[in-house]
Amino acid sequence: MNASPDSLRKAMHRRRRRRRRKRLAAWALLAVVGLGIGYALSFGWNTTLDLMRQHTDWLVLTNIKPVGQEDLATWVVVEESALELGSDYLAISKEAVETRLMNHPRISYAEMHKKPIGTVELVIRERRPKALLASPFLEIDAWGHVLGAPTEESLDRKDYEVLPLITGLKVDLEQTGSRLDHEGLLRALAFLGRVDLYGYDDEQWISEVNVSDSDSLVVYTRDQALPICVGDGRISKRKLDALFETLEQIRKKAIVVKMVDLRFRDQVVVKQG
Give per-residue pLDDT as tens, 3-26: 566 666 666 666 667 777 766 766
Question: Has domain 129-272 been given CATH number 3.90.228?
Answer: no
Give per-residue pLDDT as tens, 58-89: 678 889 999 999 889 999 999 999 999 988 88
Structure confidence at residue 111 as a pLDDT band (50, 70, 90) = very high
For the cut 70, the answer to whether the pLDDT of residue 200 exceeds it is: yes
Contact criterion met (CB below 8 Å) for 190 and 218: no
pLDDT of 230 reads 95
Among 3.20.20.70, 3.10.20.310, 2.130.10.10, 3.30.2130.30, name the CATH number for the domain at 63-126: 3.10.20.310
Contact criterion met (CB below 8 Å) for 247 and 221: yes
Contact criterion met (CB below 8 Å) for 179 and 140: no
Boundaries of every domain in the chain: 1-43, 63-126, 129-272
Contact criterion met (CB below 8 Å) for 228 and 262: yes
Asked if residue 227 has a cis previous peptide bond (ω within 30° of 0), the answer is no
Which amino acid does the sequence have at 241? D
Rounded percentage of the chain residues whose pLDDT exceeds 90: 53
CA distance 198 to 222: 18
pLDDT of 179 reads 92
Comparing CA positions, the residue from 258, 256, 245, 257 lying closest to residue 267 is 245
Structure confidence at residue 45 as a pLDDT band (50, 70, 90) = very low
Most confident of 19-28, 163-172, 183-192: 183-192
Alpha-carbon distance values, 172 to 134, 137, 138, 148, 178 (Å): 12, 10, 10, 11, 11
119-126 and 63-67 beta bridge pairing: parallel
Give per-residue pLDDT as tens, 112-146: 999 887 899 999 999 999 999 987 889 999 999 99
Secondary structure (H, E, C), 20-36: HHHHHHHHHHHHHHHHH
